[in-house]
Amino acid sequence: MYDAPSLENTLDQKAIKIAATDVQVYYGDTHAIKDVSVQIQDNTVTAFIGPSGCGKSTFLRCLNRMNDTIDICRVEGKILLDNEDIYDPKVDPVQLRAKVGMVFQKPNPFPKSIYDNIAYGPKIHGLARTKAELDEIVEKSLRRGAIWDEVKDRLQSPGTGLSGGQQQRLCIARAIATEPEVLLMDEPCSALDPIATAQVEELIDELRANFSVVIVTHSMQQAARVSQKTAFFHLGNLVEYGDTSQIFTTPVDPRTESYITGRIG
Amino acid sequence: MTDASIPKASTLLRPDARTKKRNASEARFRFYGMVAIGIGLTMLLVLMFTILTKGVGAFQQTFITLQVELLENKLDKTGARDLELIKKVSTFGYAPLIAGGFNKVVADTGIQTTLKPKDQSGILSKSAPAQLRDYVLNDPDQIGKTIEFEFLANSRVDGYLKGRVTRESIANDKNISVEQLDFVDQLKQAGVLKKRFNMDFILGADASDQRPEAAGMGVAMAGSFFMMLVVLALALPIGVAASIYLEEFAAKNWITDIIEVNISNLAAVPSIVFGILGLAVFINYMHLPQSAPLVGGLVLTLMTLPTIIISTRASLKAVPPSIRDAALGLGASKMQSVFHHVLPLAAPGILTGTIIGLAQALGETAPLLLIGMIGFIASNAPGGISEGLLSPNSAMPAQIYEWAKRADPAFYERAWGGIIILLVFLVTMNTIAVILRRRFERRW
Ligand SMILES: Nc1ncnc2c1ncn2[C@@H]1O[C@H](COP(=O)(O)OP(=O)(O)O)[C@@H](O)[C@H]1O
Ligand SMILES: [Mg+2]
C-alpha cells in the first residue's frame, strides 16, 4: 500500500508526450473508436494490441492526423502533443506530420533511389542547406535505421529493389530523417520474415532513446519483446493500458486475459 | 446408385459423360473464338490489301524530261533581268518554249508522229507552263540557257502508265487521243517519259479539279499539324489539371459525382455535335476566322478533353495509395505528394491517353465539315505559326474526303494514297503509345 504511489511516480518520471482524451472516430456511421483516453510517454515504446478490426490502426492514424486523408472519417475528442491540441483548427496537419512520423504496414519506399528516399523529407522541410549536409543526414538516418552497411555502396539504386526487410528499415530511416519526435508504426513487421523482424525489433529498441515510439502489432510476443507500455483494444474500446509486464502477467480485464491466452482472436 | 457390379465406371482413364460434355463445349467455344478472330483478321487483311493496292499508285507520278531553251527574246526582251518585267510574261509566254522542247525531243530521238505541237504539249499537266515560269522567276539567271526540265505528265497519261486508262476507255475523252497515247509510248521507249516516286504528293499542296497530277497532301498535313498543336497545348494541361483536381483534391460528393458522369457522357457525344458547337461559338459568336486550324483545334480540343481526363484519372487511380501515404506521412503537403510522387508515376499513362486522344482527333472528319475545313483548297503552305493557325486550311481527313468526292478517277487514287499517309501517322502514334505503356508499366 505504501509502495504503490511511489511506483506510479517512477513510471511518470518520463514526460507525457501524447495525451488523448475521450477520442471518438467515425467512418460514416460506423463508430470505430469509442471513448479512448490514453497517455503516451516520451522515450518509451508503446504497443497497441488487439484483435484485427478493433481500431488499432484507426487510433494510431489519429495521432498524426492521417485520418484526415479519408473523406468519411470524423474524429472527436482531444489529442494533445506536448500540451498542444493537434486537432486545433490552427494546426496544419502537414507540420504535425513532420513531428509525428509514420511507418506503414507494407514497406512503401518511393520508386526512386535509396538516397532520394531518405533525402525527400529533409528536402521538403528545408533541413539541409547544402548537398554535404544532405549527404550527412542521409548517412546518419541510414545508420540509425540499421541499414547503412547494406546499402552504402548502392545509394543510387532504386529503393524498391531491396528485400522486404531492407525496404522496411529504409522506410524507418526515411521517417527518422525528418527528425520527428514521435514515431508511429503500424504493424511494421507483418510483411517480414523472422530474421528481418528481429532486425527491425532491435532497431525499435534503439530508437526508444530518441523518440517516443508507438507500434501496432498483432503479435503479442512482439509487444512483449519491444514495448514498455501496452494498450489492449477491443471493438473500438481501450480495454486496458499499463506496463507491458503487468498486462501480460496479471491482466485486470477478463477480455485482455482471454485475448492474451488466445481465446479472442 | 452404388452399383458394385460395374466398379470400372469411376476409372480415370476413361472420361465420364459429364467430362466429355464439358470438353466438347470447351472445344466448341475455342472454335467459335478462333472463327471470330479469323473473321477479324480477314477483314483487316482485306482492308490493308485494298488500301495498299489502291493507294500506292498515288505515290508514283509520271514525269517527262525535256530540254527547254529559255529564249531571252521571249522571257526578257530588254535583257536587264528585271524581275518585275519578267513577271509580266504570263504562262502563255512559256507554252512555245515547251513546244520547242518537244520539237527537240522528236528531232533527237527520231520519233515519228503526226501530232501538232499543241497536241504534243497536251500530254503534259496543265500546270506545266506555270511550273516552268516559277522556275524562271526563282532563278532568272537561267534565261538564255537550255535547261533540262522535268514536267508533270497529265493525269490521263499517268493513268495510262498505271493501267487505269486504256485506249478503249478514252473513246469519249476529249482530253486525250489515241495518237497522243502512241506518242507517249514512243517517249517512254526513248526514256524521256518515266514513272517515279513523287515527293510532291506527300509535301505538296492540293490542286484544282483539272490537275489531279499536281495535287498533294502537304498543306493539309500542315493544317492537321497546327490543329494538333492547338489540341495538345489546350487539352493536355486542361485535362490533366481537371483530372488531378477531381481525383486528388475534390471532395467526393454529389457534385463531383455529377461532374464525373457528365465527363463520361461528353466522351460519348458524337463529334459532329462538337462541330456545330464550334460553328456557333467560335465562328458565329467569337468571330474567329472560318476554315482556320485554330478553330478546328479548339473543336477537337473539346472532343479530346474527355478522353484525356478519363485516361489521366485512370492512371492516377492506378498509382498505389501507399505512395501517397508515404509522402503525406513524411509531412509532404497534398500538392507535393501529387506533383513529386503521384504524377511522375502516372505520366506514362497520361501520355499514352494523350497520344490516343490526339490520334482520334487527327482522324476526325465530321466536325471539320461544319467549320468549313472541308472543301477548302489550300494552295500555299503556311509561312509561320500565326498564319498556320489563322489562315484557312484543310486537314488530312478533310482532304481525303475532298479528293474522294471529285469526279476524276485520278483523284480517287489520291484519296487512297492520302489514307495511307493518314494511317501511317495513326499507326505510328498508337505504336508510340503502346511502347510507352509497355516500358513504364508498373515500376513500383
Ligand atoms: N477507410 C475506412 N473506411 C471505412 N471503415 C474503415 C476504414 N478503415 C477502417 N475502417 C473500419 O474501422 C474499424 C477499425 O479498423 P482498423 O483501425 O483498421 O482496425 P485494426 O487496425 O485494429 O485491424 C474496422 O471495423 C474497419 O472496418
Ligand atoms: Mg490495422
Please state the atom number of ligand 1 nearest to the C-alpha of residue A28. 4
Give the N- to C-terminal CA distance of chain B in Å, as an integer.
Answer: 57
Query: Which residues 6+ apart lie within 8 Å of B93 measured at CB?
Result: B74, B75
Q: Do the strands A182-186 and A212-216 form a parallel or antiparallel pair, or are they unpaired?
A: parallel
Q: Which three cell numbers stand for residue A163?
A: 528485400
Q: In this predicted structure, what is the pLDDT of residue B8?
A: 56
Is A210 exposed, middle or buried (CB count within 10 Å of its CB: 0-12, 13-18, 19+)? middle
Residue of B329, B341, B443 lying closest to A97 (CB–CB): B329
Q: A260 — contact with chain B (CB < 8 Å)? A: no
Q: Of the candidates B327, B249, B250, which has an alpha carbon nearest to the alpha carbon of residue A97?
A: B327
Chain A: residue whose CA lies nearest to B335? A94
Residue of A96, A104, A109 lying closest to B325 (CB–CB): A104
Going by the DSSP 8-state scheme, the letter that residue B153 receives in this structure is B
Query: Mean pLDDT of all residues in chain B?
Result: 89
Residue of B325, B329, B336 lying closest to A124 (CB–CB): B336
Q: In this predicted structure, what is the pLDDT of residue B374?
A: 78
Segment B414-435 shows an average pLDDT of 92
Cβ of B329 within 8 Å of Cβ of A178? The answer is: no
B100, B149 Cβ separation under 8 angstroms:
no
Which ligand sits nearest to residue A188's alpha carbon?
2
**A104 CB less than 6 Å from ligand 1?**
no
Residue of A94, A106, A175 lying closest to B322 (CB–CB): A106
Q: Which three cell numbers stand for residue B43?
A: 477483314
Kindly indicate the confidence band of residue B9, based on its pLDDT and cuts at 50, 70 and 90. low
Q: In this predicted structure, what is the pLDDT of residue B81?
A: 81
Q: In this predicted structure, what is the pLDDT of residue A8?
A: 45
Pick from A26, A29, A30 the residue to mutate for probing ligand 1's pocket: most ligand atoms within 8 Å of its CB: A30
Cβ of B443 within 8 Å of Cβ of A104? The answer is: no
Contacts of B247 in chain A (CB under 8 A): none
Instruction: Check which CATH number belongs to the domain holding A56 and give it.
Output: 3.40.50.300
Residues B173-214 have pLDDT tens digits of 888 888 899 899 999 988 889 999 999 899 988 888 888 898
Contacts of B324 in chain A (CB under 8 A): 69
Residue type, B86: I
What CA–CA distance (Å, rounded) separates A31 from A53? 12
- Minimum distance, in Å, between the CA of residue B311 and any CA atom of chain A: 22
Place of cell 503525406: B328
Q: B66 — contact with chain A (CB < 8 Å)? A: no
Cβ of A124 within 8 Å of Cβ of B330? The answer is: yes
Contacts of A69 in chain B (CB under 8 A): 324-325, 328
- Considering the entire predicted model, what is its pTM? 0.82
Cβ of A104 within 8 Å of Cβ of B333? The answer is: no
**A27 CB less than 6 Å from ligand 1?**
yes
**A74 CB less than 6 Å from ligand 1?**
no
Chain B: residue whose CA lies nearest to A175? B330
Place of cell 493544317: B223
How many CB contacts within 8 angstroms connect chain A with chain B? 66
Taking each continuous run of H as one helix and of E as one strand, the counts in chain B are 20, 3
Please state the atom number of ligand 1 nearest to the C-alpha of residue A59. 17
| Residue ID of nearest Cα to ligand 1 atom 1 | A70
| Residue ID of nearest Cα to ligand 1 atom 7 | A27
Cβ of B326 within 8 Å of Cβ of A64? The answer is: no
For residue A115, being part of any structural domain is answered with: yes
Residue A21 φ then ψ, to 5°: -130, 125
**A32 CB less than 6 Å from ligand 1?**
yes
Q: B326 — contact with chain A (CB < 8 Å)? A: yes
Residue type, B411: F
* Listed range (A228-232, B216-220, B227-231, B390-394) with the worst mean pLDDT: B390-394
- Minimum distance, in Å, between the CA of residue A155 and any CA atom of chain B: 18
Q: In this predicted structure, what is the pLDDT of residue A13?
A: 64
Architecture of domain B218-440: Orthogonal Bundle (1.10)
**A53 CB less than 6 Å from ligand 1?**
yes
Please state the atom number of ligand 1 nearest to the C-alpha of residue A52. 23
SS3 string, chain A, reads CCHHHHHHHHHCCCCEEEEEEEEEEEECCEEEEEEEEEEEECCCEEEEECCCCCCHHHHHHHCCCHHHHCCCEEEEEEEEECCEECCCCCCCHHHHHHHEEEECCCCCCCCCEHHHHHHHHHHHCCCCCCHHHHHHHHHHHHHHCCCHHHHCCCCCCEHHHCCHHHHHHHHHHHHHHCCCCEEEEECCCCCCCHHHHHHHHHHHHHHCCCCEEEEECCCHHHHHHHCCEEEEEECCEEEEEEEHHHHHHCCCCHHHHHHHCCCCC
Q: In this predicted structure, what is the pLDDT of residue B113?
A: 83
Cα-to-centroid distance, A217 and ligand 2 (Å) = 8
Cβ of B329 within 8 Å of Cβ of A66? The answer is: yes
Contacts of B329 in chain A (CB under 8 A): 64, 66, 97, 101-104, 175
What CA–CA distance (Å, rounded) separates B199 from B197? 6
Q: B254 — contact with chain A (CB < 8 Å)? A: no
Residue A44 φ then ψ, to 5°: -135, 150
Q: For helices B396-405 and B343-363, what crossing angle results, to 10°?
A: 20
Boundaries of domain holding A20: 7-260
Which positions of chain A have pLDDT values less than 70?
1-13, 263-265
Contacts of A95 in chain B (CB under 8 A): 331
A44, A208 Cβ separation under 8 angstroms:
yes
Residues B359-412 have pLDDT tens digits of 999 999 999 988 888 766 667 777 788 888 888 888 999 999 999 988 888 999
Cα-to-centroid distance, B332 and ligand 2 (Å) = 23
Query: Rounded to 5 degrees, what angle do the CA atoms B34, B40, B45 make?
Result: 120
Q: Which three cell numbers stand for residue B347?
A: 505520366
Chain A: residue whose CA lies nearest to B336? A124
Is ipTM > 0.90 here?
no
- Minimum distance, in Å, between the CA of residue A258 and any CA atom of chain B: 34
The full set of domain ranges for chain B reads 56-197, 218-440
Give the total number of structural domains in chain A: 1
| Residue ID of nearest Cα to ligand 1 atom 21 | A57
Q: In this predicted structure, what is the pLDDT of residue B442?
A: 59
For residue A265, being part of any structural domain is answered with: no
Residues B227, B232, B238, B243: is their CA dihedral positive or negative? positive
Kindly indicate the confidence band of residue B121, based on its pLDDT and cuts at 50, 70 and 90. confident
Tell me how crowded residue B154 is: count the other CB atoms within 10 A of its CB: 27
Residues B53-83 have pLDDT tens digits of 999 989 999 999 999 888 888 888 887 788 8
A78, A87 Cβ separation under 8 angstroms:
yes
Q: In this predicted structure, what is the pLDDT of residue A5?
A: 41
Residues B249-287 have pLDDT tens digits of 988 889 999 999 999 999 899 999 999 999 999 999 999
Q: B323 — contact with chain A (CB < 8 Å)? A: yes
Q: Which three cell numbers stand for residue B4?
A: 458394385
Residue A243 φ then ψ, to 5°: -60, 140
Alpha helix stretches (DSSP H) within B391-408: 396-405
Residue of A69, A97, A108 lying closest to B331 (CB–CB): A97
3 state DSSP class of B122? coil
For residue A1, being part of any structural domain is answered with: no
Give me the residues near ligand 2 (ion), CB cutoff below 5 Å: A 57
Cα-to-centroid distance, A50 and ligand 1 (Å) = 13
Contacts of A178 in chain B (CB under 8 A): 330-331
Q: In this predicted structure, what is the pLDDT of residue B5?
A: 54
Going by the DSSP 8-state scheme, the letter that residue B271 receives in this structure is H
Q: B250 — contact with chain A (CB < 8 Å)? A: no
Query: Per DSSP, what are the bridge partners of residue A23?
Result: A36
The proportion of chain B whose per-residue pLDDT surpasses 70, expressed as a percent, equals 96
**A70 CB less than 6 Å from ligand 1?**
yes
C-alpha pair distances (Å), A71 with each of B200, B207, B360 = 60, 62, 36
